[in-house]
Chains A and B, each alone.
Chain A
């Protein structure tokens, strides 16, 4: 990697960056793509210029995220750009290594137009990525023995990091060859598996989220899966597939869903209370559709949670309920006491929720 320092303030840039004149790159450190296009990456030839660029970039907004730190690194002359990446591949059910001599920003285009230029290797999880395999890939990118070794070393380390951190994607793009024949990783990106965060404390500590994501993370901590959308009909559903189908249904009949909310399986009444709180915290919501088909979720649990939630939350947002499946009879008996409208099918529920939202 090229030499560089991470700075959180202009003062830090003044302290950490040397007085020497050289070409440097000042890069916003944010967890979103497209920062270059947003003006978050700038070149500087002197220290004074680096400080000036740091002033411009620190505090700027890139796709809803405020830039709180920057990387000031030596700019690197590039002779050639490569791509290397690791991903969880659904089809081979393994980690797959990909590499291409055509690196840089156009890698997706390369994949589409000339897929033969992407080298792929399926990694045996028991063996891991062995040095000989890494060399085999490197041999197809480089011809100089020293460069081959440098690249292979980078690949093996990338795989180790990938496994240690439960990644779902790790790519170096570009991996470059400099005019003085060094192999350097210039930029990289990693995604992590949400399901494995329970054993990745260091990764969780690095998490940064915008306002909407914050809400999603809070919901997650409560065992709910929530994504805010732009519509006005709140939905609470059990199961991701049914939740998506519920949104589809609302849209099909002319409404706009306000969110995706899956209360998951094995729900206890507290989950329903939490779910209602999250739903109603969105001020755009003016009707709520609850669609439950019980399997592992028991309808009576949902019903009890709902009664408790409505006791606690003061709301005049109209609610329509549909309960089916495991313990539906017991659940419906509990709901009856609340006097809320209950319908039999998901289509009726969607139609009713749309009607209520217009009042």
Chain B
């Protein structure tokens, strides 16, 4: 009965699992979709509280080494749940406005969150694989939510076909690593340092699968299409929570299974990071569609995050965690504002041309959007700046000056397209006199809270980044003692 007591360490996962099943069952017997919304919010808040308390709890392995808890995993859980919670909070109004407020959305989001929470605790390639797949399968469907719309169904198809393709590579990587190590446990793989070709081949294939999920160049092809076709808040969910989950899983994978060959994979990561930063930022410059622009910007952000992974130190990983946290808050906020504009009738409000003068129509949303854009651009004193600073500082400390130089230059290029949004918001004349619907109370509050958090964690990063550093050190101690 050892495993029952181990369940205590996985409260967030259990709460969300039960929540997803409850929401699914209530959906089957009740016509009232609003009820599902409140239920989901309730379960997510409970899970978030549990996972915050886990951050300060013990760390270790559980379930015969299938999963780890505490430390980095718990913080990954916090980031994922925070992103999910805000997406769900904003979802109700947005989905009602686009006439797709169906109960299945909530259960699918919760199923997807289960996958993400499994992912951030994965300590075995089997768990990693199943977490990724649970998350992806729910996301394929969510991406095609507006299936009447050609773009929506196509986004789902594209995401699905390319996702299935990437799964093949991912699984092949697992198979080869299993052949090399004779086990799928991360700690067992760490003991193999020179497994020959099969080991390197396995690592390469596994990373191809993961790079696809975080849309690193050159495996990013699906990102702009899927992000544009999916409902805006689902896009926010895909861009923040799912990426955060996979990157946390990647940190655990690299930190526990491949710590000794850091110098080898860091070289590959450097090349990918440079490509990702350059391509993401340069193509974002020419986008006129808000969602496509944010899609390319999210590709660019993955590039910055990879700079932190290249550093491979506790400072680098904690910088990545901070980056993910900041990125989740500000990106959910930015997509939230886009989703609000989008549901106004008459014009296509994902096209940037139509953003003229919107900043004055809804002052609060204009200001919030400015904060999110400045933060995404990495301008102080917002959270995005601190994340970028920590990531770059860790890489400089390890001597990756050239890489950081590319990062800084591309960030400067990036400032252009973020500021361009603000130019439209404040300095262009409005195209037409569209009357704006007022946003609901919850929607307004959620955006406001996100904006305040973006400022607060930009000014007061200290405590949070200390927690992130400690979390990774716990993971390292675990790896060292072989627990």
Q: Report whether chain A binds chain B.
A: no
